[in-house]
Structure 1
Amino acid sequence: MKVISILSSASRWQARMRLAALVVLIGVTGMSGSLVLAQAQGPDGGNTVQQTQAPAASAESVVTAGQGATAQPQRFGVREMFGQADVVVKAVMVFLVLCSLLTWAVLFEKLIVFGRARRRNQTFLAAFRGGEMAKVSESAEGSAMGRMWQVSQSEIRHFRQHLGERPDADQINRLLQRMSLTSSIVQERDLARLGSMMGVLATIGATAPFIGLFGTVWGILNSFASIATLKSASLAVVAPGIAEALLATALGLFAAIPAVMIFNKFARDINGFVGSLDNFSAEMIASVSRQMDEGR
């Protein structure tokens, strides 16, 4: 069916894009590690000069050490990294946080919708199998199975109005085919309603890591620009930019992982919903066929 094919295609694209994101992330992480290692090893070349100037700088180093003993360490948490980030990196982070909030909103909305649909179908199915026509008519409008039953009853009324009470086998077969077709149309509409926002989850799960990687690459470019501007290759210059960049990647994964898990959960629920509607359609058509054979 159309909804199932869309869900399977989205799952395949998610798998491909997650693999590509992993490859890019490994490359960016390796580049960052090489850069940090280079900065850590860079100052070694000046040891000779520093050793020759050690006697002259001994007093200054004592003063600096005394100041460092009383200085408070600079905080460098998530809030500080966000505040010091570039405008582009900030925009990426805000967008990813909004994607994460949207993902959780879809989760709660779908839990309510699927729970309500499941309860209404169970109520209608119990009344249908119990032969309680008053309850069947009462609960038909609120459930997918009830709407399938309504369009089938409409086909039966039209059939009896035009062909009488004693139709032949060929006419009955055409009636059953029309019932199956109209029930499938109603089923597709209900599945489309249940599957709304699934494309949003698939899109967030597939693209959020790449959006985070864009922020990472942008932050690393800013780190290189800082080296060129300040003419300093120390870790104090490079580390903040790399940390901000990796925070963007972390937010991308934070948005993508729940989106993929929620998408897979509701894809399984939709498959189960399709199976229950197919079973009810077959049960309903078999019941009508049996009634026609009995002349009712």
Structure 2
Amino acid sequence: MDAAAVTPDSFNFITLFMRADWVVKAVMVGLGLASLWSWAVILDKAFRFASLNRQAERFEAEVGNGQSLEDIANKAGERPRHALPRMLQAALREWRDYRLKPLSDNQTAFLVQRIDRVLDTIIARESARVEDGLGVLAIVATASPFIGLFGTVWGIMHAFQAIAIQKNTNLSVVAPAIAEALFATAIGLIAAIPAYIAFNAFSTKAGKYAARLEGFADDLSHAVQRRLAERA
């Protein structure tokens, strides 16, 4: 490229992309698609966690209003989508199976253990469900900078080959070619930084949500134990 041909437009994103080597172009396109994929996961998780926590707050407030657990479970319907009413219904099903039977101490302990296992299963499944997609963010966050760096190294290598062939080390020749290569690293960082931040944020939210479910499971277990103590 001649010095006279170098203009500010030579460094805009579209020009840099169109002038890049086909390998660098493939890297840029791949990183762009990875960024779009990660943003789709980010938006989905943001709305999902907001919805889950709103529903949990409403349900916990309903439980705390003093209504009977049976009425709350019936009002939730046969197949509630949220984990908390499902946990309540599962605990009450186990309780109903034994409430009319005389229970020994061993049977009482077995009932409590059985309820705990059922609730733990629901918590494990729900935790896996809310964490689904976080692996995508982790991959994009960790791999994108290295993929971008590969594109940069490849682009710089070809840029120096072109410089050697032209036998011209003028800055006007070097700068656009180097800019094309560095653009790949920039795209890699653009893809990686939001994915890294979102992965850590949503991992924290998933942990807090799992802790919320575990706390509700403990409350249910204690409620069943109180009922069993009242029967004794």
TM-score (norm 1): 0.71
* Pair 1:201–1:73, CA change in 2 (3 A): closer
Q: What amino acid maps onto 1:154 in structure 2?
A: R
- Equivalent residues of 1:223, 1:241 under 8 A apart: yes
- Equivalent residues of 2:138, 2:195 under 8 A apart: yes
For the residues of structure 2 that align with 1:251 and 1:72, how far apart are their CA atoms?
Answer: 23
Deviation at 1:217, TM superposition (A): 0.3
Give the structure 2 partner of residue 169 of structure 1: 105
Q: 1:118 aligns with which of 53, 56, 74?
A: 53
Give the structure 2 partner of residue 33 of structure 1: none
For the residues of structure 1 that align with 2:203 and 2:7, how far apart are their CA atoms?
Answer: 49
Structure 1 residue runs of 4+, over 3 Å off?
Answer: 71-74
Is structure 2 residue 73 aligned with structure 1 residue 136? yes
Deviation at 1:135, TM superposition (A): 3.4
Q: 1:266 aligns with which of 202, 211, 215?
A: 202
Higher relative contact order (CA 8 A, sep 6+): 2
- Equivalent residues of 2:52, 2:82 under 8 A apart: yes
For the residues of structure 2 that align with 1:103 and 1:74, how far apart are their CA atoms?
Answer: 32
Give the structure 2 partner of residue 226 of structure 1: 162
Q: What amino acid maps onto 1:288 in structure 2?
A: V
Give the structure 2 partner of residue 213 of structure 1: 149
Is structure 2 residue 92 aligned with structure 1 residue 153? yes
Deviation at 1:72, TM superposition (A): 8.8
Q: Deviations over 1:204-224 (max 9, x none)?
A: 000000010011001111111
Q: What amino acid maps onto 2:85 in structure 1?
A: G
Percent of counterpart pairs with the same letter?
A: 38
- Equivalent residues of 2:155, 2:180 under 8 A apart: yes
TM-score (norm 2): 0.90
Q: How many residues align?
A: 224
**Range that drifts further, 253-262 or 132-141:** 132-141
Q: What amino acid maps onto 1:122 in structure 2?
A: E
Q: Deviations over 1:77-102 (max 9, x none)?
A: 11111111111111111111111112
Q: What amino acid maps onto 2:13 in structure 1?
A: V
Is structure 2 residue 222 aligned with structure 1 residue 277? no
* Pair 1:180–1:74, CA change in 2 (3 A): closer
> Secondary structure of 2:132's match?
coil
> Secondary structure of 1:167's match?
coil
Larger radius of gyration: 1
